[in-house]
Amino acid sequence: MTFLGRDKKVVRETAAVHKGRNIVIELAHPSIVRVKEKGRRFWYETTVEAVFSLAAKQYAENFRKERAEKKKAEKAVRKAVKATRR
């Protein structure tokens, strides 16, 4: 893996589209992430830690929802089996 040095910035245009424009991402030292729409001047800036935290929260929320749906489906099956036994 390449270390992001003080004097180096990495800028990439993504395939992701927002309002018809591709998204551009810039990684800068020290652990700064900047995002903008291609063709626009304004950059949204955050830290790598904030991006990681958001990704972890989204993963946990999706995991919780999937688990709740699974439990709900299992409960419906148990209820249907119980109803057929009567």
* Model confidence pLDDT, tens digit, residues 28-58: 988 899 999 999 999 999 999 999 999 999 9
Decide if 73 contacts 57 (C-beta within 8 A). Answer: no
- 3 falls within a domain: no
**pLDDT tier at 66 (50, 70, 90 boundaries)?**
very high
- 75 falls within a domain: yes
- 17 falls within a domain: yes
Structure-block tokens of residue 59: 């993963």
User: How does DSSP classify residue 5?
Assistant: -
- 49 falls within a domain: yes
- 57 falls within a domain: yes
Q: What is the pLDDT of residue 85?
A: 79
Domain span including residue 70: 10-85
User: How does DSSP classify residue 3?
Assistant: -
Global confidence as pTM: 0.72
- Portion of the chain with pLDDT greater than 70, in percent: 99
What residues contact residue 29 under an 8 Å CB cut-off, 6+ apart? Answer: 4, 5, 6, 7, 8, 9
- 4 falls within a domain: no
